[in-house]
Amino acid sequence: MNFFSDQALSINRLQKEAFFPFGHKLHCLYLKQTEPLMSATSDAQSQSNKKALERIRKKRKKKLEAAELVDRIKAGDATALSEAITLIESTHITHQHIAQDVISGCIQNAGKSVRLGITGVPGVGKSTFIESFGLHLIDKGHRVAVLAIDPTSQRSKGSILGDKTRMHGLTQHKDAFVRPSPAADALGGVARKTRESIVLCEAAGFDTIIIETVGVGQSETVVHSMVDFFLLLMLAGAGDELQGIKRGIMEMADAIAINKADGDNVKAAQKASREYKNAVHLFPPNSSGWVPKVLTCSALKKDGLPEILDTIENYTEEMKSQGLFVKKRQKQDINWMHDTIVSELKRNFYNNPDSKSKMLQLEARVKSGEITPFMAAHEALDIKDD
C-alpha cells in the first residue's frame, strides 16, 4: 500500500487543518513526496477537502450558536427564547438541528412549572381571561408564559392581532412571555412545537405556562395531553347549557368556569354554575379522586380570579401529595414518545419510493375487489398471516 496515497493525503490534510494546528511541517513533507501522484486529482481533492472543512466549520458554528442560545435562555433572556422558538417552528433542516441542540441543553432546567390548558368555544373569553389571570399570577410573584395551539391554521392576521391586543398588559410585562400560535401546520406538528416550546419557556424561568386552544375540535385533546390542569371556560344563558362543547371535553376538565359573570349576566351565571355542579357528579370518577370544580368569573371585570388560582393550587398540592403530579407527566411523556414513533414510521413508510409504487398496485387490487383492504395493508407492511 502506498502510504502517500491520495486518500491518505486528503485525510491528513483535513486533520491538520481541522484538529492539528501545529502539524504544519509534517503536512508540507507529505505534499512534497506525493506531488507526482496528486497531479491528476489534486483539484478535485482540494475541492472535496474544502467542502469537508466547510461542513465541520458549519457544524461547530451551529453548536456554538445553540450553546449561546441555551446560556441566554437560562439567564431568562426573552429575545433568545423567541429566537429559539422561531428555530423550533422553522422547516429549515439547519434550524431544526440547532433547535434540537437547544432543547437538549435546556431539558435539565425544564419541568419546574405548572402547565395550564385553557379551552372553550371561540368568543367565550379565553384571551381576555389569560390577560387578566396572567396579570393576577404575576401580582402573586409568578412568571407567566402563554402559548397557543391553533390547528385550523387558516387564522386571519386580524384574529392574531385581536389576541395580541386582548393580551396587551401581558405582552408588555417583563414577567410575561406571549407567543401566538405556530404557522400553518398539521395538528401533530403544532403539538410537537408547543411541547418543545414549553421546555424552553420553563428553562427560561417561567413557572406558569398557559396554553390556549385557539382551534376547536381535536385541539382540546392535544392541549389536555400536555398540561397539568385543564380549565374549561363556558357561557351562561346561551340556550342549551352544553353549547357546542362535547361531553368528552367537559369530562377532561379539572375545573369549569362560567365566564362573563358580570352585569345582567350574574344571575344566569350562578344558575348555570349550579347546573354544572350537579352535572359533574354524574361524570365517571377521575382515577385521582378529583371532582371537577365549578366556578364563575368575569375575565373583563377581573372577578373570581383568586378562587380559580386557589383551585389550581389545591389541585396541584393534592396531586403532588399523592405522587400523581409526576406520574401524569411521565404518562404524557411516554404517550408523546409513542405518538412520535407512530408518526415517524408512517412518514418513513409513505416517503419510501418502493412503498409508493407498491401502494398504487395495492390500491388497484383493493378497488377491483381482488383483495380486502385488511389483506392489502398486511401485504404493504409485509406482515405474514399465520
Q: Could you say which of Mg ion, ligand GDP, none residue 259 binds, taking C-beta under 5 to 8 angstroms by partner kind?
A: ligand GDP
Stretch that binds ligand GDP, among 281-289, 297-305, 359-367, 373-381 (CB under 6 A): 297-305
Q: In the set 67, 86, 122, 361, which binds ligand GDP (CB under 6 A)?
A: 122
**Residue 89 touches which member of Mg ion, ligand GDP, none, C-beta under 5-8 Å by kind:** none
Give the residue with the Cβ less far from ligand GDP, 120 or 182.
120
The secondary structure of residue 384, as a DSSP letter, is P
What residues between 151 and 170 interact with ligand GDP by CB under 6 A?
166
Q: How many chain residues touch ligand GDP (CB under 6 A)? A: 15
The partner residues of 144 in beta bridges, in order of sequence, read: 176, 208
Q: Which does 299 bind (CB under 5 to 8 A by kind): ligand GDP, Mg ion, none?
A: ligand GDP
Least CB distance to Mg ion at residue 252 (A): 19
Alpha-carbon gap, residue 12 to 8, rounded angstroms: 6
Stretch that binds ligand GDP, among 107-115, 276-284, 295-303, 335-343 (CB under 6 A): 295-303
Residue 215 in the binding site for ligand GDP (CB under 6 A): no
Q: Which amino acid is at 361?
A: Q
Segment interacting with ligand GDP (CB under 6 A) among 90-98, 126-134, 191-199, 320-328: 126-134
Q: Cα–Cα distance between 44 and 139 in angstroms, integer?
A: 65
Selected from 119, 259, 273, 296, the binder of ligand GDP by CB under 6 A is 259
Residue of 157, 129, 127 whose CA lies nearest to 302? 129
Distance CA 363, CA 377 (A): 10
Measured from each CB, the residue nearest to ligand GDP is 125
- The CB-of-221 to ligand GDP minimum distance in angstroms stands at 18
Question: Which of 228-255 are b and which e, b meaning 16 or more Cβ less than 10 Å from the residue's Cβ?
Answer: bbbbbbbbbeeeebeeebeeebbebbbb
Query: Which one of ligand GDP, Mg ion, none interacts with residue 123, CB within 5 to 8 A by kind?
Result: ligand GDP
Contact with ligand GDP (CB under 6 A) among 105, 120, 151, 215: 120
- Going 19 to 22 to 25 to 26, the CA torsion angle's sign is negative
**Which residues neighbour 128 within 8 Å (Cβ) at sequence distance 6 or greater?**
166, 299, 300
* Strand-pair partners of 232: 119, 256
Which of 159, 161, 133, 162 has the alpha carbon at shortest distance from 146? Answer: 133
Residue 141 one-letter amino acid: G
Residues sharing a CB contact under 8 Å with residue 198, sequence separation 6 or more, in sequence order: 110, 113, 115, 147, 209, 211, 226
Using CB under 6 A as the binding rule, whether residue 36 contacts ligand GDP is answered as no
Distances (CA, A) of 298 to 126, 266, 292: 11, 9, 19
Q: Judged by CB under 6 A, does residue 127 bind ligand GDP?
A: yes
Binding site for Mg ion (CB under 5 A): 126-127, 163
> What minimum distance in Å lies between the beta carbon of 250 and Mg ion?
20
Region 303-322 residues binding ligand GDP, contact defined as CB under 6 A: none
Other C-beta atoms closer than 10 Å to the C-beta of 26 total 12
219 binds ligand GDP (CB under 6 A): no
From 51-59, 224-232, 259-267, 358-366, span contacting ligand GDP (CB under 6 A): 259-267
The DSSP symbol for 207 reads S
Helices 42-74 + 6-18 axis angle, to 10: 30
Q: Which is nearer to ligand GDP, 80 or 211 (CB)?
A: 211
Please say which residue, 5 or 165, places its beta carbon nearer to Mg ion. Answer: 165
Nearer to ligand GDP, 102 or 261 (CB): 261
- Quick one: what does residue 120 bind among Mg ion, ligand GDP, none, with the CB cut-off 5 to 8 Å set by partner type? ligand GDP
| Cell digits of residue 205 | 424561568
Asked if 272 contacts 258 with a C-beta cutoff of 8 angstroms, the reply is: yes
Work out whether the CA dihedral 355, 361, 365, 366 comes out positive or negative: positive
The interface partner of residue 124, options being ligand GDP, Mg ion, none and the CB cut-off 5 to 8 Å by kind, is ligand GDP
Q: Cβ 118 to Mg ion, closest distance in Å?
A: 9
Sites of contact with ligand GDP (CB under 6 A): 120, 122-128, 166, 259-260, 262, 298-300
